[in-house]
Amino acid sequence: MLRRFLGLPKTPDPAVAATAAPAAPPTAAADAETATVRQIVAQLDSMPADRARFLAGFAYVLSRVGEADFTISDSETREMERIVAEHGHIPEAQAVIVVQIAKSQARLFGPTEDYLVTREFRSSSTDAERLDLLRCCYLIGAADGGITAEETGTLAGIAEELDIDPASLSALRAEFADQLTAIQLMRKNRLDVP
């Protein structure tokens, strides 16, 4: 399942496997973790393909906002996991895996994949789902206490790529105006003026 999400071949290259270091002998703790991971992966694998694609695209677009300032903070990660679990109707453990894969993909392939993944999400979602995704993106930006200029730029790009109508976008921006660091700084400076 993880190989499928990452776009890797179903089986590892035998030449690479032959040069890999021998695996450490399993321990009871490692066996328990492996069983847990296997169970989660099996549950994700059992998800209908269209639902898994939708969820993967949703999580990836969220990670774009977190990655806008070149680092996805712990608070942004936790917020992404919460949102993916809630909107994907999946257990938290599955959401953690989905978010980690999305974050890894965003770090590795961001500039080339950002538009393509967002465009694919746009073509397979409703207007309400796209607006909901953008609202969740704003929540990721605000997770650290303020939406930075870099995140604002990324949010604008995502809104355009999702083809969000201007009235809905204006309402969403107004909803998060207090979270914009530029506005927070202006208000602070206004209070500091003698």
pLDDT tier at 37 (50, 70, 90 boundaries)? Answer: low
The C-alpha torsion from 5 through 6 and 10 to 12, rounded to 10°, is -150
Tens of pLDDT, residue by residue over 151-164, are: 999 999 999 999 99
CA–CA separation, 82 and 90 (whole Å): 10
- pLDDT for the residue numbered 38: 63
- pLDDT for the residue numbered 71: 85
pLDDT tier at 6 (50, 70, 90 boundaries)? Answer: very low
CA–CA separation, 86 and 79 (whole Å): 10
0.95 exceeded by pTM: no
Q: Are 119 and 161 in contact (CB under 8 A)?
A: yes
- Domains of the chain, earliest start first: 40-192 (1.10.3680)
pLDDT tier at 192 (50, 70, 90 boundaries)? Answer: low
Whether pLDDT at 143 is above 70: yes
